[in-house]
Amino acid sequence: MKKNLAVVGVQWGDEGKGKIVDILSEGYDCVARYQGGHNAGHTVSIGNQRHVLHLIPSGIFQRDVKCVIGSGVVLDPIALLEESDAIEQALGSSVRGRLFISNRCHLILPYHRVIEAAIEKQLGERRIGTTSRGIGPAYEDKVGRRGIRVCDLMDPETLPDKIRVQVADKNRVLQALNYPQAIDPEPICESYLRHSLKIKPLVVDATVMLNDLIRSGKSVLFEGAQGTLLDIDHGTFPFVTSSNAAAGGVATGLGVSPKYVQSVVGISKAYTTRVGAGPFPTESEDGPGETLRKRGNEYGSTTGRPRRCGWFDGPAARYATMVNAFDSIVITKIDVLDAFDEIPFCVDYKYKGSVLKEFPADTSVLAQVQPVYKNIPGWKKSLAGTKQWSELPVVAQDYLKFLSDYLGVPISMISTGPSRDETIRL
Ligand code: GDP
Ligand code: IMO
Ligand code: MG
């Protein structure tokens, strides 16, 4: 029987989770997203088509797989409908009967985006550099026990009053933030009531559905968004997202017991990127960073922002390996390193002259650490599209072996290009 598997980002997101979940989900009965929202951008390249998924699990292109948006996700219904329309067009068939939304998901409403923009503006230099999707304020409302959920969206009698109460509250917050105008709740009520009718056929008790599937012996792949270093509890706080991207989020985000998470795989680039603000010790702001950006096409899948680029950050990946206890890791974008004579690999952080034993909790410390690099010879040969380990140059094998030994985790797959078949399976 196939084990249930969690697929988790090792770094600051955009590791190539979408490509790997699409491949791995073949043979699973279900793929379930456990956190985040449409801040995510997961790219799946099939043939000459490139799909970017934000909310819908990356298993949707495997036609026998059920896809679940779990209760830990914050849902913008309008974004979801736009995305499902685009996917139905690409698939040439309906997602009904294959795509399910938890009735416990919290909703993103337009005022969440307005508040986020006002707060980021007020923060100025200290801003997080969010994706402006309203993610943080929606999770704030959830934890503050005033959020509106999908089950509320399903009740047209009570929904408008729930929205009006929240808008009155948000207008007080916006006034305090010197926001120039008040939000009118009525167009929001009208729009959400209208969209609720289209969402309704997809809404289920996903907690019951997933537990029933698992108890009847079906296999579930749990899809993470963002990455461990963006996790609200374990990431580089405050420069994080507002949910638990690490493997611990699976159980809370789906209502399945941790006992059912039988295996965890980490997805990591062969180097490192980050979008938005926050410390990034191995960042290269000059030539090599630009080469990585150009060769890796490192522009945000959701916002189009240029991603900050740098070398593989060993201490950060080792920390993520501890937090998630990966059974194996997948290394993506190894082909992007083809161009370099030497590939620096950060093995340690130095802080005030001494090597740090642990990944620091304090962001101001992380911002001051000096990476200690081991320079590994490059291979200067195109690895794009390589499908066999034995076809890799020995120096590339050495880079990957060094990485695997450093983390103490076997590598289960290596990605050598965006497409499904540009993959080495080990
Ligand atoms: P995700 O958020 O983790 O799903 O990753 P994104 O989709 O945001 O970003 C990964 C980008 O790298 C996408 O444009 C992918 O098509 C691309 N990609 C994935 N794997 C590879 C690879 O092995 N080589 C190259 N060159 N591109 C890849
Ligand atoms: P995927 O799933 C990379 C980053 C934002 C910002 C911080 C907080 O494609 O890997 P938010 O809008 O979540 O409140 O922004 O988190 N961020 C991501 N970075 N990949 C993502 O998703 C991200 N989702 C959020 O850039 O720094
Ligand atoms: Mg992405």
Sequence-distant (≥ 6) Cβ neighbours of residue 301 within 8 angstroms: 14, 41, 42, 43, 52
Note the pLDDT of residue 350. Answer: 98
- Give the residue whose CA is nearest to atom 23 of ligand 2: 226
Contact indicator for 189, 163 with CB cutoff of 8 Å: yes
Residue type, 160: P
The pair of structure tokens assigned to 231 is 């996790």
Q: How confident is the model at residue 302 (pLDDT cuts 50, 70, 90)?
A: confident
Q: What is the mean pLDDT of residues 314-329?
A: 98
CA of 257 to the centre of ligand 3 (A): 27
Rounded to an integer, what distance in angstroms lies between the CA atom of residue 134 and that of residue 137? 6
Rg of the chain, C-alpha, whole Å: 22
Sequence-distant (≥ 6) Cβ neighbours of residue 108 within 8 angstroms: 37, 38, 74, 75, 76, 79, 133, 134, 135, 138
Q: What is the mean pLDDT of residues 403-423?
A: 98
Ligand 1 pocket test, candidate residues 21, 24, 308, 333, most atoms within 8 A of CB: 333
| 3-state SS class at 53 | strand
Note the pLDDT of residue 6. Answer: 98
CA of 418 to the centre of ligand 1 (A): 6
CA of 256 to the centre of ligand 3 (A): 25
Rounded to an integer, what distance in angstroms lies between the CA atom of residue 46 and that of residue 90? 11
pLDDT tens digits along 258-289: 999 999 999 999 999 999 999 999 999 989 99
- Give the residue whose CA is nearest to atom 15 of ligand 2: 130
Rounded to an integer, what distance in angstroms lies between the CA atom of residue 84 and that of residue 241? 24
- Give pTM, 2 decimals: 0.98
The CB density around residue 304, as the number of other CB atoms within 10 Å, is 9
* Strand 66-69 versus strand 99-102 pairing type: parallel
Rounded to an integer, what distance in angstroms lies between the CA atom of residue 304 and that of residue 298? 9
Note the pLDDT of residue 70. Answer: 98
- Degrees, nearest 5: CA angle 114-117-120: 150
Rounded to an integer, what distance in angstroms lies between the CA atom of residue 238 and that of residue 313? 19
User: Does 43 score more than 90 pLDDT?
Assistant: yes
Buried b / exposed e over 82-92, threshold 16 CB at 10 Å, is ebbeebeeeee
Note the pLDDT of residue 212. Answer: 98
The residues annotated as belonging to the active site are: 14, 42
Q: Please, where are the H alpha helices in 48-91?
A: 77-91
Mean pLDDT of the chain: 97
> In angstroms, how far is CA 33 from the centroid of its own chain?
10
Sequence-distant (≥ 6) Cβ neighbours of residue 9 within 8 angstroms: 15, 17, 224, 225, 226, 227, 228, 230, 245, 266, 267, 268
Please list every protein residue whose CB sits less than 6 Å from any atom of ligand 2: 9, 12-14, 39-42, 128-131, 133, 135-136, 225-227, 230, 241-242, 275-276, 301
Note the pLDDT of residue 303. Answer: 85
Q: Tell me what percent of the residues of the chain surpass a pLDDT of 70.
A: 100
Contact indicator for 156, 193 with CB cutoff of 8 Å: yes
Residue 326's Cβ-count burial label (10 Å; 0-12, 13-18, 19+) is: buried
Q: Which residues pair with 287 in a beta bridge?
A: none
User: Does 301 score more than 90 pLDDT?
Assistant: no
Q: What is the mean pLDDT of residues 165-189?
A: 96
CA of 1 to the centre of ligand 3 (A): 31
Q: Where are the beta strands (DSSP E) in 183-334?
A: 203-204, 220-223, 263-269, 272-274, 308-310, 312-313, 328-332
DSSP letter for each residue of 210-249: HHHHHHTT--EEEEP-S-GGG-TTTSSTTSS-SS--STTH
Note the pLDDT of residue 2. Answer: 83
Lookup result for tokens 């952080």: 349
Sequence-distant (≥ 6) Cβ neighbours of residue 106 within 8 angstroms: 74, 75, 138, 139, 141, 142, 147, 148, 149, 150
Lookup result for tokens 């109460």: 165
User: Does 1 score more than 80 pLDDT?
Assistant: no
Q: How confident is the model at residue 250 (pLDDT cuts 50, 70, 90)?
A: very high
Note the pLDDT of residue 79. Answer: 98
Quick one: which of 50, 53, 59, 51 has its CA closest to 22?
Answer: 59
* Strand 411-415 versus strand 328-332 pairing type: parallel
pLDDT tens digits along 66-118: 999 999 999 999 999 999 999 999 999 999 999 999 999 999 999 999 999 99
User: Does 307 score more than 90 pLDDT?
Assistant: yes
Rounded to an integer, what distance in angstroms lies between the CA atom of residue 84 and that of residue 86? 5
